Structure 1
Amino acid sequence: MTTLLFAGATGNIAKRAIKNLQNANVTIKAGIREAELEVGRAHFASQQNVDVVELDLLKPETFKPAFEGVDIVYFATLLAVPGEFEKAYIEAAQAAGTVKHIIHSTGSTADVPEVFKLCSEFIFEREALTRESGINYTFLRPLMFMENFATMLAPSIRNEDGWSEPLIGSAEVAYVDVQDIANVVSSIALSPTAHEGKTYTLSGPDAISSDVIAELLSEALDRKITYTEMSAEDWSSANWGGVEVADSNNWLFNILRENYQGFALGAEGKNLLNDNIKNITGKEPTSFRAFIARSVNVWKK
């Protein structure tokens, strides 16, 4: 029986992919850092093919038992974690001697390096660690998550009838549903050979602007929802406690600023639309209208 290890198993993509595999003939190790072990055990308690294991970057001794006997590993590169944690995972996979495939999720900004210079360089470096590991791999490059509207932007939409970002209202982004990404991960995990050495950019079925999203939300909630473009200066003050745009040395801040500038240029719009989700999973990707219908309760007062 195939054994899968999901590093960061309580993450948005991993926990959904694990649920997808609840009736599959596989054994799953849900790798979770020490601080979230109890939450993870509670989350996966009803899934009989899941074994919650400790996998903590701050505790190297957890790596060997977590990777022991594993055939396929999934992990995601996170912008908020600039350290080379991927290297630690890959070295553990090599040492285990059983890992045949790595599913590595990064980001679609790598598809437009001329616009997202900092971010693409970061992603290329992390992907290179996997590519040069000697283990078969598949790279996933999802676009911006629809779920951002149901999580970090939800309080503003719910309580203030709108939201603001440093993004031109008419700029289109091909947002993707996290559940669709998870469906891709679980599909590849069950048939990894067909996807060896492949890189898949994952987009939604359409590119949509903040202005149009506001209209769709207004329609679904039966009240006026407004999108307001804000300046990078105001955005930085609101989100970074007064960090100055012009001279900030904060690496993550500069990455995020670059991303919003690129989104405003349409760099993650129609040019990145594709059929990869449908071709891999056999299902049509979720439209933004369908995502709003599914999530509407989070924006109700």
Structure 2
Amino acid sequence: MILLTGATGTVGGLTARLLRGTEPVRLLTRDPGRAANLAGPQAEVVGGDFEDPAGLRRALAGVRSALLVTVDPLTHAHDENFLTAARAAGVRHVVKVTTLSVTEPEATDLVTEWHRENERLLRTSGLTWTLLRPRAFMSNTLGWARAIREDGEVRAPHGGTATAAVDPSDIAEVAVRALTDPAEHAGRTHALTGPESVTPVRQTEILSELLRRPLTFVELTEDQVLQGLLRRYPAPVARALVESAARGRAGTKGRVEPTVTDLLGRPARSYRAWAAEHLAAFRA
């Protein structure tokens, strides 16, 4: 049995779809109704919360491998509770999604430090582990969709800063490999990027070409970005995200890693390929 957390999120949901019908899977989510479309003959959806240790132990019963995705940078309790429950349940292998920024000494923002500590918790847990360290998700640009549909604009900071963003479906494919073949991936860290480094301005051009309509890139100031983030996140998290984005101007996020190709035997998917697949979200 494989257990997936974050089944209603990006990587967890894609991983669930890839595993569907291949072997027994249990999907852990706070809202089982949102994951109902992922249920099936070999896919069980269970309700659970990282703040409920007893519920985690029940969900992990009979599980051999688990995908761990946590999202609250203001606490390490979610990872601690999950790993404690996994040990008690006899789970053998945990695949954890963090971020490639943990490898950069100059990255000291709250979110990156949170990921570093979560990695340490897993490495010292006594469980076998695999760390997936993606660069920014290509799907983050779905946040532009409304402004593109309504105004023909992309509003973002640092338009000339290139990032080797990765298609989440590539992350999910690597996750499946690690979950189903723990012996091959135990104790390994996988740096996951796209096949090229692309700026927001170039992403805007690609979307314009695919949509066959003109789009305008509007450069936001850091303060404008911060004000927008404060409407969605607690202040410490919003400030950390702004700090992380600004750090990319030094070129640290543009490095392309060969890991996806090495593990999957094919090139990493390009931003153009991702955008073409999700074009409906951007259409007026």
Q: TM-score, normalised by structure 1?
A: 0.88
Q: Distance in 2 between matches of 1:196 and 1:286?
A: 25
Matches within 5 A, 1:91-170: 91-97=84-90, 99-150=91-142, 152-167=143-158, 169-170=159-160
User: What's the counterpart of residue 75 of structure 2?
Assistant: 82
Would you say 1:27 and 2:17 are equivalent positions? no
User: What's the counterpart of residue 37 of structure 1?
Assistant: 32
SS of the equivalent of 1:73 reads strand
Would you say 1:257 and 2:242 are equivalent positions? yes
Task: Give the CA deviation at 1:291.
Answer: 1.2
Q: Distance in 2 between matches of 1:38 and 1:121?
A: 33
- Code of the aligned partner of 1:297: A
Q: Distance in 2 between matches of 1:51 and 1:227?
A: 44
User: What's the counterpart of residue 246 of structure 1?
Assistant: none
Task: Give the CA deviation at 1:10.
Answer: 1.5
Q: Distance in 2 between matches of 1:259 and 1:100?
A: 34
User: Is 2:229–2:238's contact at 8 Å kept on the other side of the alignment?
Assistant: no
User: What's the counterpart of residue 240 of structure 1?
Assistant: 230
Q: Distance in 1 between matches of 2:53 and 2:178?
A: 28
Would you say 1:299 and 2:282 are equivalent positions? yes
Q: Deviations over 1:69-110 (max 9, x none)?
A: 11001112325553430000000011112x111100001111
User: What's the counterpart of residue 171 of structure 1?
Assistant: 161
- Code of the aligned partner of 1:158: R
Gap regions ≥5 residues in structure 2: none
Would you say 1:275 and 2:258 are equivalent positions? yes
- Code of the aligned partner of 1:300: R
User: What's the counterpart of residue 196 of structure 2?
Assistant: 206
- Code of the aligned partner of 2:276: A
Q: RMSD in angstroms over aligned alpha carbons?
A: 1.8
Q: Distance in 1 between matches of 2:244 and 2:136?
A: 10
User: Is 1:5–1:74's contact at 8 Å kept on the other side of the alignment?
Assistant: yes
Task: Give the CA deviation at 1:27.
Answer: 1.3
Count of residue pairs the alignment pairs up: 283
Q: Deviations over 1:133-160 (max 9, x none)?
A: 111100001111111122x221112111
- Code of the aligned partner of 2:15: A
User: Is 2:174–2:264's contact at 8 Å kept on the other side of the alignment?
Assistant: yes
Moved more, 78-87 or 139-148: 78-87
Q: Distance in 2 between matches of 1:181 and 1:6?
A: 14
Q: Distance in 2 between matches of 1:18 and 1:296?
A: 23
Q: Distance in 1 between matches of 2:149 and 2:103?
A: 34
Q: Check 1:66–1:115 CA distance in 2 against 1; reply closer, same or farther (3 A cut).
A: closer
Task: Give the CA deviation at 1:57.
Answer: 2.6
User: What's the counterpart of residue 41 of structure 2?
Assistant: 48
Q: Distance in 1 between matches of 2:140 and 2:154?
A: 12
Residue identity over aligned pairs, in percent, reads 28
Q: Deviations over 1:226-280 (max 9, x none)?
A: 2221111122233325x9xxxxx922022111111112222211x2x11111222
Gap regions ≥5 residues in structure 1: 244-248
User: What's the counterpart of residue 186 of structure 1?
Assistant: 176
Q: Deviations over 1:176-218 (max 9, x none)?
A: 1111111110111121111111111100000001111111111
SS of the equivalent of 2:218 reads strand
SS of the equivalent of 1:114 reads coil
- Code of the aligned partner of 1:136: T
User: Is 1:116–1:262's contact at 8 Å kept on the other side of the alignment?
Assistant: no
Q: Distance in 2 between matches of 1:118 and 1:56?
A: 23
- Code of the aligned partner of 1:22: R
Q: Distance in 1 between matches of 2:196 and 2:74?
A: 30
Would you say 1:67 and 2:50 are equivalent positions? no
Would you say 1:8 and 2:3 are equivalent positions? no
